[in-house]
Amino acid sequence: MNENQLLLPGSQSEAGFWIETSRHRDWLMNEAKRQLTFFSASCRDEPGFHTLGHDGSPLPGKLQELHTTTRLIHSYALGHLSGFKGAERIIDHGMTFLESHHRDRDHGGYLWALDGDQIKDDRKLAYGHVFVLLASASAKLAGHPDADKLMTDVRSVLEKHFWDEEAGLFRDEWNRDWTPFSTYRGMNANMHGVEAMLAAFEATGDEIYLFRAGRILDFFIGKIAPSENWRLPEHYSSDWQINRDYAGDPMFRPSGTTPGHSFELGRLQLQHWDLSGRTDPNALDRARRLIAQALNDAWLPGGGLAYTLDFDGRVANASRFWWPITEAIGAVAALIALDRRPEDEEWYRKLWTYANETFVDHQHGGWFPAVDGAGAVVTSIFDGKPDIYHSLQACLFPLSGRLSRMIPLEKPEYSDKPQTPFS
């Protein structure tokens, strides 16, 4: 047996569902620990985090965006909850940087980007602020002593500046002093708002989070998706009409639809249904339609998922990035947990096999951000290995055996004392 065979996430000959086998579950946990070990090198000796190259060495520059800080807090909180020793150091480092650098002492809220100690981008974005809420909820679940203070602060900012009670959705962006920046409205910030509010509900039990997450889901999956053949347009006007002519940043606000976001929203719909007592008779069917449409539209010849689609489902940008695969894995794993069907297992094995053969870096750890049609690593818009958040969740969510977040029956004790990384 060669090395690659030893590293396969499961055996294609095994009957049943991979997530029920010890071989696959052991593989998932080992891969999660390899990622947590690799990204532990992100922590600077000074405030902030490094971006890591493919080999794990720090890249030059000190630019740090809000979603990077908060996703590292969230990811290592999940690592702490799964027993990874040393996660506390990353959580503490991120929480300190949020307070010392991202938090705007003059106007309130959180600044989007810092370059060392200098403000690089002072916009106030809903996308960034909902990730602050996610970080605070995850840190609270991990037992961090400053989590409640952070959650109280970001909740008040979201309430005052971003939440549109009439629409039941988040507004997107402001200048630093909270003067209007644009009338843009988007799905992405709202989707991650659902993610953050479900986490906040689990951390606090406050049902306002569950209720508001449901309102966002009702708009996008209950209203928009059925009228768009189960595809989700990304961009909207200030009165929440689809803006089909929007042409923003082609990589970070691409036109058309983004199937990776359909996977995320589908999984979040299932999570919300689970946390709400599974009372909505239509939630499971809506989530399945959304996930299935994205898989069928976006799966490319030779493997991989297209980055974007036209409104009718034709491939617009065939770039193969790592994160849509991870979100598809999480979505299909959620379906298997609730409504297992043979076709779900077929997709689950296909997705993991492709990810393992192309994106997982078996030499250094972490995942490569982009590959070509032949599965070879390519240079992309992403520097180095930019993110642990997506790929870590792809490993941990199937292991949890539930649709809510990975919360063990007995939480590991939180300590701010230095610990040895996983051994």
CA 271 to chain centre: 14
Beta strands in 182-274, from DSSP E residues, in sequence order = 185-186, 235-236
Active site residue 261: yes
User: What is the pairing mode between strands 185-186 and 173-174?
Assistant: unpaired
Q: How far is the CA of 292 from the CAs of 208, 263, 264, in angstroms?
A: 30, 9, 12
**Cβ neighbours, 10 Å, residue 247:** 10
Q: Which of 80, 93, 261, 272 is catalytic?
A: 261
Which has the closest alpha carbon to 298: 259, 347, 267?
Answer: 259
Which has the closest alpha carbon to 87: 98, 73, 100?
Answer: 73
| Dihedral angle of Cα 356, 361, 365, 370, to the nearest 10 degrees | -100
Is residue 80 within 8 A of residue 87, CB to CB? The reply is yes
Active site residue 74: no
Residue 11 identity: S
Burial class, 44, CB count within 10 angstroms (exposed 0-12 / middle 13-18 / buried 19+) = middle
Is residue 44 within 8 A of residue 376, CB to CB? The reply is no
Q: Which of 67, 101, 144, 390 is catalytic?
A: 390
DSSP 134-166: HHHHHHHHHT-TTHHHHHHHHHHHIIIIIEETT
State the Cα–Cα distance between residues 156 and 148, nearest whole angstrom. Answer: 12
Query: Running DSSP on this structure, what letter comes out for residue 173?
Result: E
State the Cα–Cα distance between residues 39 and 94, nearest whole angstrom. Answer: 13
Which has the closest alpha carbon to 143: 85, 88, 68, 83?
Answer: 88
Residues with catalytic roles = 261, 390
